[in-house]
A and B are shown apart, each in its own frame.
Chain A
Amino acid sequence: MAGITIRGLSKRFGARDGELAAVADLELDIKDNQFVTLLGPSGCGKTTTLRLIAGYITPDSGTIEVAGRLLSSPQAVVSPAERGMGMVFQNYAVWPHKTVFENVVFGLRLRKLPSSAARQKVADMLALVNLGGLEGRYPGELSGGQQQRVALARSLVVEPDILLLDEPLSNLDAKLRERMRTELKQLQRRTGITFVYVTHDQAEALALSDQVAVISGGRLQQYGTPFEVYAHPANRMVADFMGLVNLVPGRVRDMKNGVANVELTPDLTLGIAKVDGLSVGERVDVAIRPENIRLATPPEPATETLAKVALAKVTSHVFLGNLSEYEVTLPSGSVLRVQTHPLQQFTVGEPVAFEIDATQCSAFPRIRGERTPE
């Protein structure tokens, strides 16, 4: 079926001097029937990757194969028209001079489908995306969300093996975005089409994907399930990009059985697993998600029975409705962001005990001269 195999793919843009590598040496295996997200900050090369897969751009090096058929290489590129893929553009690209029906039927006409069969298929597809009855409208008369569905219907009606989506939800308002997200996911399950989805929104990627490919600076940073990339980021960039994270400076005190004991402050040490490549004495940044820190009123009098329990001071509080966010300052001066249940309340200025779930933390070597992100 239609898996995509990308090998050593590179593409540069710009003048001969000062060229910018949009995609550098990308390796990616996208399995059939999967929902795969290319995630990264803007300008990271994710859209270029998608357009390389679609065949709009010729790679400088590397290959793209679909179901064992070579589609792109620096020597030859199969035209987008002959790839049998679908694509949904960021701006939808719904043709403004054609009605909804004419937009959707375009691909079927190209496939020389008898007009009655085409009519039926268009009607079915429009019903599927909840646009029944709007066949005669022009795009100018539709809302953003409706145009979005026309674009989807237009790509899906030709039954592609692969659907490419370039930030299709980024122009919608928050509520609609959430709904379309659910609909997209269901649609993918129902049709079994391979979705390759580009976004810069990590929440969207986590919610939708079977696999997430985190891309930065044109390079693949990590490829894994949403849980893997969130809970066990491969590097600091991924940790930072996948949501709120505290990056706290520390030093590796000792290593036993693949667990490194990292000292954050003299009286706070975390045992962190999976620390390949770290050595004793090395300076590191520890990535701690705000929801993996627990706050508690300190016991009276404060006991020092648990090494993990430490004392800090609450320095700010933001109420966010479904949760509360605190900033606590350690004696060392480091500041931690902590998210708690909204009913668990602390007062600014109050001392507080906290506990960190070390199993959900990661440690990355510090890069000389690099500032710790706050």
Chain B
Amino acid sequence: MGGAVVALVILVVLPLMSLLLGSVRGEQGLSLDHFAEVLTGRLYVTALKNSLMLGAWTSLFSTIIGLTLAWAVSRTDVPAKPLLQLTATLSYLSPPFLTAIAFTYLFSPNAGILNVLMRDVVGLPWLTFNIFSMPGLVLVTVMHTFPFVYLLAASALQSVDASYEEAAQILGAGKLRTAFAITAPLVAPAVLSGALLGFVNAIALFGSQAIIGLPGRIVTLPTRIYALFDYPPEYGLASALSLVFVLITIVALYLQRAFLARRSYVTLAGKGSRLQLVRLGKMRFVLLGFGVVIFIVSIVAPFSTLIAVSFSKSWGLDFWKGLTFANYKFILFDYDVTRRAILNSLLLATLAATIAVLLGAVIGWIDLRTKIPGRRLLDYFALIPLGLPGIVVAVALIQFWLAMPVALYGTLAILLLAYVGRYIPLGVRAANAALRQIDPSLEESAQILGASWLTTMREVTLPLIRPGLFAGWLLVFVPVIQELSASILLFSSSSITLAVAIYNLYETGYIEPVAALAMINMVIIGAAIWLATKVGGSRILGRGDAAQDAAHGAGT
């Protein structure tokens, strides 16, 4: 138990303290110069503005798409509901920086295949689209964030008791009046909460902001912090900027919690009558069309593009003339960097998931089953990383471990610390949920029969929470295997990871092998998810809680 406390201190508390310290350490003694600089300097203010703008636009479009789909699925007779649900689930699971890369293959201003098609073949240059722009950045980000609104709104719409609406109807209110006076206010907290989760998640995505934003000269907070580590590294400024970043995230998450707490009254009523679906008539095909467009843009287009590119000799309009396995052979066998990256990532994800879940189990057990003073505090500390964007975790770890006598920088160990630190909340939450489901009396009845604490754990507790822990394990494994935001500052050539390798290959212009490596990444994620649904069933995917966890989880 003491071990869990020490682990949390090393993983979370000390790095945060050194971040704080680093931000106020000036040339001589303490100073607020770094903060003054990041709050007034043109570069930093622009980054801040861009991040807020990106977050705002993303939230807006996430709400429009997510709410429309949620309403269609929960309240109308729209056909093909499973497809709409699948769209949200897959969009939520697919790594956003891979979507971004796929969209550059289609819409980069000069070589993007659809731009080439429109300009040179069809001859309609005004139908081209430059992905390296704020609209482009919002587009690829929204495809990842609208599921947050969707999941929360759908669950709220389904849990609003039908009698609330029926009561308005019998008093003489028409459908529209009922929707605005009764339903909308009841689900608004959940929708707002989803929009804020989308916001927090959107501004933390280093990958898409680097891939789409940097070529378009749109610098945001994560990419600005990244730039501060170019030689000579500006640790103080990076720390101060990180703290500003954290502040924005925490304010948004705080608002989100406050909104979600108000949602409690949605489920206040007891057993309710079944909902009556709105009959849309012909309109339902319009709605279905909308869903299909989202499905194509968020799933079909990026993935078929990645697949096509990965088998092409040379990506272009006539790519199908030279299909080849050479790209896969290159990244899997010939090029030792990518080979090493794949193995490193598999190793790190396995270790990080195992450690995060075991630590989570101990912390959850202390919180729920003991009366140790300060146990709640332990729980809170374990949740802090939810408010930390990945790149901030990296800045904090660098600050802390550079000051230590142990040479961790550039090793697999510091990456492991970053991953465990980032995803410990998911482990705690999974263990908590699993432990809550077993009544303490089950453990007590083993004890009354004479079992020791260890025997009780081995014979009763662990077997019972194993499925929940395994689900949590995969919940950590999936984001770690695609982690980029923190890795990008922490890797070295020997500790390179899968996501970093993809990013570096992309930056160096290896267009086709990048796609092959991205496919490998997708296959690993797909396998893990397949395993997760086998083991944990639908508990893992498609629930409101999942969106909660993902506030932090999927941000790479």
Contact across chains for A87 and B167 when beta carbons are under 8 A apart: yes
Contact across chains for B268 and A110 when beta carbons are under 8 A apart: no
Contact across chains for A107 and B172 when beta carbons are under 8 A apart: yes
Q: What's the Cα separation between A140 and B186 when bound, in Å?
A: 14
Contact indicator per residue, chain B 179-190, by CB within 8 Å of chain A (1) or not (0): 001100110000
- Give A118 Cβ to nearest chain B Cβ, in Å: 13
Please tell me which one of the listed residues A82, A151, A171 contacts residue B172 in the complex, with CB atoms under 8 A apart: A82
10 sample A-B contacts, Cβ–Cβ < 8 Å, listed by A number: A54-B166, A79-B174, A81-B170, A82-B172, A86-B170, A91-B163, A95-B168, A110-B172, A140-B268, A154-B167
**B270 in the interface (beta carbon within 8 A):** yes
Q: What's the Cα separation between A154 and B163 when bound, in Å?
A: 14
Residues of B267-326 at the interface with A, using a CB-CB cut-off of 8 Å, are: 268-273, 276
Residues of B with C-beta under 8 A to A151: 167
**B333 in the interface (beta carbon within 8 A):** no
Closest to B276 in A: A56
With A93-B164, A95-B164, A97-B265: A81-B181 Cβ-Cβ less than 8 Å? no
Beyond A56-B169, A110-B173, list 12 extra A-B contacts (CB 8 Å). Answer: A79-B169, A80-B169, A81-B171, A81-B173, A85-B170, A86-B171, A90-B270, A91-B269, A93-B164, A93-B167, A106-B181, A171-B270
Closest to B272 in A: A91
With A86-B170, A107-B171, A110-B172: A91-B161 Cβ-Cβ less than 8 Å? yes
**B177 in the interface (beta carbon within 8 A):** yes
Q: What's the Cα separation between A129 and B269 when bound, in Å?
A: 22
Contact across chains for A96 and B276 when beta carbons are under 8 A apart: no
- Give B268 Cβ to nearest chain A Cβ, in Å: 6
- Give A57 Cβ to nearest chain B Cβ, in Å: 9
Please tell me which one of the listed residues A90, A106, A140 contacts residue B171 in the complex, with CB atoms under 8 A apart: A106
Highest count of chain B CB atoms <10 Å: which of A80, A89, A107: A89
Contact across chains for A158 and B163 when beta carbons are under 8 A apart: no
Closest to B164 in A: A93
Highest count of chain A CB atoms <10 Å: which of B166, B168, B171, B270: B171
Contact across chains for B166 and A56 when beta carbons are under 8 A apart: yes
Closest to B274 in A: A13
Contact across chains for A89 and B172 when beta carbons are under 8 A apart: no
**A69 in the interface (beta carbon within 8 A):** no
Q: What's the Cα separation between A95 and B171 when bound, in Å?
A: 13
Contact across chains for A93 and B270 when beta carbons are under 8 A apart: no
Contact across chains for A80 and B170 when beta carbons are under 8 A apart: yes
Contact across chains for B172 and A111 when beta carbons are under 8 A apart: yes
Q: What's the Cα separation between A158 and B169 when bound, in Å?
A: 13
**A83 in the interface (beta carbon within 8 A):** yes
4 smallest A-B Cβ distances: which pairs?
A96-B265, A107-B171, A93-B163, A91-B269
- Give B438 Cβ to nearest chain A Cβ, in Å: 30
- Give B164 Cβ to nearest chain A Cβ, in Å: 5
Residues of B132-187 at the interface with A, using a CB-CB cut-off of 8 Å, are: 161, 163-164, 166-174, 177, 181-182, 185-186
Contact across chains for A81 and B265 when beta carbons are under 8 A apart: no
Residues of A with C-beta under 8 A to B161: 91, 93
With A93-B163, A95-B167, A140-B265: A81-B174 Cβ-Cβ less than 8 Å? yes
Residues of A with C-beta under 8 A to B181: 106
Contact indicator per residue, chain A 37-81, by CB within 8 Å of chain B (1) or not (0): 000000000000001001010000000000000000000000111
Q: What's the Cα separation between A155 and B166 when bound, in Å?
A: 12
Closest to B182 in A: A95
Residues of B with C-beta under 8 A to A85: 170
Contact across chains for A110 and B177 when beta carbons are under 8 A apart: yes
Contact across chains for B182 and A91 when beta carbons are under 8 A apart: no
Contact indicator per residue, chain B 455-475, by CB within 8 Å of chain A (1) or not (0): 000000000000000000000
Residues of B with C-beta under 8 A to A96: 186, 265, 268
Contact across chains for A110 and B269 when beta carbons are under 8 A apart: no
- Give B190 Cβ to nearest chain A Cβ, in Å: 13
- Give A77 Cβ to nearest chain B Cβ, in Å: 12
Q: What's the Cα separation between A56 and B277 when bound, in Å?
A: 12
Q: What's the Cα separation between A84 and B171 when bound, in Å?
A: 7
Residues of B with C-beta under 8 A to A110: 171-173, 177
Contact indicator per residue, chain B 406-420, by CB within 8 Å of chain A (1) or not (0): 000000000000000
Q: What's the Cα separation between A82 and B186 when bound, in Å?
A: 24
Closest to A54 in B: B170
Contact across chains for A87 and B166 when beta carbons are under 8 A apart: yes
Contact across chains for A83 and B170 when beta carbons are under 8 A apart: yes
Highest count of chain A CB atoms <10 Å: which of B164, B170, B186, B273: B170
Residues of A with C-beta under 8 A to B171: 81, 86, 106-107, 110, 154-155, 158
Contact across chains for B168 and A106 when beta carbons are under 8 A apart: yes
Closest to A94 in B: B167
Q: What's the Cα separation between A140 and B268 when bound, in Å?
A: 9
Closest to B167 in A: A93
Closest to B168 in A: A106
